Chain A
Amino acid sequence: MAAEIGPPANRSGRAEIDDIEVDAFVQAMARRHGYDFSGYAPSSLKRRVLQLVQTLDVAHVGELTARVLRDDAMVPQVIAKLSVPVSEMFRNPAVFRKLRDEVFPVLASYPHINIWQAGCAHGQEVYSLAILLKEAGLYERCQIYATDFSDEALVRAQEGIFPIRDARLYSENYRAAGGRHTLSDYYHARYDFMKLDARLKERVTFANHNLVCDGVFCEAQLILCRNVLIYFSDALQDRVLGLFRDSLGRGGFLCLGNRESIRFAPSARGFVPLDAELRLYRNNAGAAA
């Protein structure tokens, strides 16, 4: 029994151990599985990793690392738990109303419209967008790419099934966003769930794309990436904004989360606010005077 030798490990000592173990976990995920979280903002990442320790009922982050190094089957679940940002349909309705009123009329001038929803999570915003595009008569001309780096999230997004308890909030949001019908026209309720009309995803391609390491894959007229970059360090945020700039044609639109700040990112210089309050920007890079 050597446990009593030396000062007892205090709580601040454990905090330091957690930090070291989270670093080791990040290394393990990158080197063993190719998922690089080193560019993530540390405090939220640490909270999520500690949350994962609780969910998976392992003793500490060190044990999580040991398991994830040896058990490939765990990886999708780990990625899903580290990625899932919560969203809702028509979150911040004013943003969707603005898209409908000011962005859609510009998109309407294109014979073919590419839209990229980056970090689509469980798809609530993709379906929201699809509904408004249908109501604007633009949907058939659209190709929507809904991407995420979590395969589990993509499966969920493709299913388009959400808890029915959220239906009321979603309906209120839909009306506030300027929806023309009632939201229930677009889903079937069964037991405790609402399943969105499969026709809403006819023009949606769900695909795995990791903003940390993957590149440009289309020329888009509109990119939505809401509350994803808040989890990234300045350098990674800047990289991704550069990726968006390169993916957007001149005059293309970028929509971020309501409280995101891009003022520290050199790559954001080409983005001109269409509505700074709603974090809606237009790509001016390379535009003729």
Chain B
Amino acid sequence: MNAVASPLLAVVVGCSAGGLAALQLLLGGLRRPLQVPMVVVCHSGSEDMRLFCELLATRSGLPVREAEERQLPEPGQVYVAPSGYHLLVERDGRFALSVDPRVAFSRPSIDVLFESAAETWRGRLLAVLLTGANSDGARGCQRVRELGGRVVVEDPRTAQVPTMPAAALELAGADHCLPLADIPSLLETLCP
């Protein structure tokens, strides 16, 4: 581990098919809230992500809510991108939304969140890519690494749907690649 690395400012998470179950395991595996905000894009096909947030909050005991336009994310909170909008991080660290065309067939797109977060938080960002059936997130992971941030990819061999983590590994590589069950303790180590 790099001893001189600055503490993280945020964790971004992307997932698609199988995402809800994976997020429940990820958040449920944390013994306490992280000391940074966590921002999630999950393609769910749902019109309204608030029920999704409630499910996650109930299962994990963590504060989970929909990301709000122009809001400054707070440590310990989990934010989920609303349905039908891309979620971006502005340079001042606040959320922005857009209805620009789909990216990688998705809106919200993981690439859009990861790329904008990378440009804002640079080397102090950790990106986590989980299960999914498309290749959204691969370019985003690439961008995160280019700008000095770290990337954790769920091991495709144990992911519910391996396509997405495999696509990210192929394009961007990763700083860590491990089974979902081991990711929570890694997050706790990286965000002390």
Q: What chain A residues lie within 8 Å of B70 (beta carbons)?
A: 234, 261, 263-264
Closest B residue to A231 using CB positions: B98
Known interface pairs A230-B69, A231-B98, A261-B71; A43-B116 also in contact (CB < 8 Å) = yes
Report yes or no: A230 in contact with B147, Cβ–Cβ below 8 A: no
Which of the listed residues A10, A43, A258 has the most CB atoms from chain B within 10 Å of its own CB? A43
Q: Which of B31-39, B57-65, B87-95, B173-181 contacts A (4 or more CB under 8 A)?
A: B87-95
Known interface pairs A42-B90, A43-B88, A47-B112; A85-B96 also in contact (CB < 8 Å) = no
Residue B54 CB within 8 A of the other chain: no
Report yes or no: A42 in contact with B100, Cβ–Cβ below 8 A: no
Report yes or no: A15 in contact with B147, Cβ–Cβ below 8 A: yes
Q: Complex: how many Å from CA A8 to CA B85?
A: 37
Q: Which residues of A are in contact with B by a Cβ distance under 8 Å?
A: 10-12, 15, 41-44, 47-48, 85-87, 227, 230-231, 234, 257-261, 263-264
Choice from A43, A48, A227, A261 contacting B68 with Cβ under 8 Å? A261
Considering only residues 79-107 of chain B, those with a C-beta below 8 Å from chain A are 82, 84-85, 88-91, 96-101
Choice from B71, B100, B112 contacting A85 with Cβ under 8 Å? B100
Report yes or no: B100 in contact with A44, Cβ–Cβ below 8 A: yes
Q: Is the interface of A mostly helix, strand, loop or mixed?
A: loop
Q: Complex: how many Å from CA A38 to CA B64?
A: 34
Task: Give me 14 A-to-B residue pairs in the complex whose CB atoms sit less than 8 angstroms apart, sorted by A's number.
Answer: A11-B147, A41-B88, A43-B91, A44-B88, A85-B99, A87-B99, A230-B85, A230-B98, A234-B70, A259-B68, A260-B97, A261-B69, A261-B71, A264-B70
Report yes or no: A259 in contact with B82, Cβ–Cβ below 8 A: yes
- How many pairs of residues, A versus B, come closer than 8 Å at their CB atoms? 62
Known interface pairs A12-B122, A44-B88, A259-B85; A86-B146 also in contact (CB < 8 Å) = no
Report yes or no: A43 in contact with B147, Cβ–Cβ below 8 A: no
Residue B76 CB within 8 A of the other chain: no
Q: Complex: how many Å from CA A47 to CA B90?
A: 12
Report yes or no: B100 in contact with A259, Cβ–Cβ below 8 A: no
Considering only residues 87-137 of chain B, those with a C-beta below 8 Å from chain A are 88-91, 96-101, 112, 116, 119, 122
Q: What chain B residues lie within 8 Å of A47 (beta carbons)?
A: 98, 100, 112, 116
Task: Give min CB distance, A47 to chain B, whole Å.
Answer: 7
Report yes or no: A43 in contact with B82, Cβ–Cβ below 8 A: no
A-B pairs, top 5 by smallest CB distance, nearest first, are: A11-B146, A261-B69, A43-B88, A43-B116, A44-B98
Q: Complex: how many Å from CA A43 to CA B114?
A: 12
Residue B148 CB within 8 A of the other chain: yes
Task: Give min CB distance, A1 to chain B, whole Å.
Answer: 26
Q: What chain B residues lie within 8 Å of A261 (beta carbons)?
A: 68-71
Task: Give min CB distance, A88 to chain B, whole Å.
Answer: 10
Report yes or no: B99 in contact with A43, Cβ–Cβ below 8 A: no
Report yes or no: B99 in contact with A230, Cβ–Cβ below 8 A: yes
Task: Give min CB distance, B3 to chain A, whole Å.
Answer: 21
Q: What chain B residues lie within 8 Å of A260 (beta carbons)?
A: 69, 97
Q: Complex: how many Å from CA A230 to CA B84?
A: 13
Q: Complex: how many Å from CA A41 to CA B98?
A: 10
Report yes or no: B100 in contact with A48, Cβ–Cβ below 8 A: yes
Task: Give min CB distance, A121 to chain B, whole Å.
Answer: 10
Task: Give min CB distance, B111 to chain A, whole Å.
Answer: 10
Report yes or no: A43 in contact with B146, Cβ–Cβ below 8 A: no
Q: What chain A residues lie within 8 Å of B88 (beta carbons)?
A: 41, 43-44
Contacts beyond the supplied A10-B146, A43-B119, A227-B99: 12 A-B pairs with Cβ under 8 Å: A12-B122, A15-B147, A41-B90, A43-B88, A230-B69, A230-B98, A259-B85, A259-B97, A261-B68, A261-B69, A263-B70, A264-B70
